[in-house]
C-alpha cells in the first residue's frame, strides 16, 4: 500500500512535532520514504520550496518521495 501525503500534513508535522524532540517519528518517516510507502505529488515540493526552512531542507533531496506529473 502507498500513502499520499500533502503539503499541509508535512507543515503540521514539522511545526507541531520538531525533529529534535520526536526523533523516532522522523526516523519512521525516513524509513517509509526509503521504502516508497509514503509519497507526495511534485506540487508539494514546489510549495515547500517557498518556505526555505527545515521542511524544505529535509525533503529537497528525496527525489523518490515525489510523484512527478506525466
Domain hosting 48: range is 3-67
Share of the chain above pLDDT 70, in %: 99
Which ranges in 1-70 belong to alpha helices (H)?
7-16, 23-34, 42-49, 54-59
60 has a pLDDT exceeding 80: yes
Provide, rounded to the nearest whole percent, the portion of the chain with pLDDT above 90.
87
Residue 31, judged by CB atoms within 10 A of its CB (0-12, 13-18, 19+), counts as: exposed
Rg (CA), the chain: 11
- For the record, the C-alpha cell of 42 comes out as 511534485
The answer to whether residue 21 scores a pLDDT higher than 80 is yes
25-59 per-position pLDDT tens digit: 999 999 999 999 999 999 999 999 998 899 999 99
How many domains are there within the chain? Answer: 1
Residue 70's pLDDT is what? 63
Amino acid at each position: 500500500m502507498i500513502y499520499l501525503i500533502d503539503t499541509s500534513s508535512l507543515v503540521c508535522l514539522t511545526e507541531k512535532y520538531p525533529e529534535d524532540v520526536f526523533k523516532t517519528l522522523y526516523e519512521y518517516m525516513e524509513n517509509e520514504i526509503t521504502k516508497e510507502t509514503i509519497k507526495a505529488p511534485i506540487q508539494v515540493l514546489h510549495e515547500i520550496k517557498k518556505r526555505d526552512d527545515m521542511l524544505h531542507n529535509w525533503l529537497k533531496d528525496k527525489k523518490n518521495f515525489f510523484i512527478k506529473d506525466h
